[in-house]
Amino acid sequence: MTLTVRILYRSSRNAEWSQIELTPQEYFDPDLDKPLDIDSVPRHDHALAYLNAESSKQITLTRMIVENRSQQKQREIATTYWNEGKNWAAEVKEIHNGNLAYWELILNTLVSDNPEVWEVLRLGREDGLLTVYSHSVIERRSDGSELDNPIPH
């Protein structure tokens, strides 16, 4: 199995794309009982966590591409950041044998700084139509815990 991981990124200071490559062991959270594949659990949720932390507030676009060439599968997560990285929109795509197998759009917006409150909207497609997977408001409490308040849809 040939598994490759690439992260492309652009900053507000440079219109050119930069790129890093990671080994599967650097990218994925190791699970000794299962072989690694494109949908294995990563160590971090966002490409920013794999980049230089000092410049992460200047990153405006990332594209993480995990590819299993032997099985002709690819997962791509393209994210746009704004408000110094506090807000973001991520498009998640999985392609199997050249066909779109999964698509999701996640919008994460900071609503309030104190207390820290986020609105998270996850959208997907069913029968070719845009549909809400989940919608919630998440409050980060002073002890670091989070309170998830789902919004009915």
| pLDDT > 70? residue 1 | no
| pLDDT > 80? residue 130 | yes
What pLDDT sits at residue 32?
A: 63
Mean pLDDT on 90-119: 96
Tens of pLDDT, residues 45-76: 889 889 876 567 789 999 999 999 999 999 99
Here the contacts of 86-94 (C-beta below 8 Å, separation 24 or greater) are 86/110, 88/46, 94/38, 94/39
What's the pTM value of the predicted model, to 2 decimals? 0.89
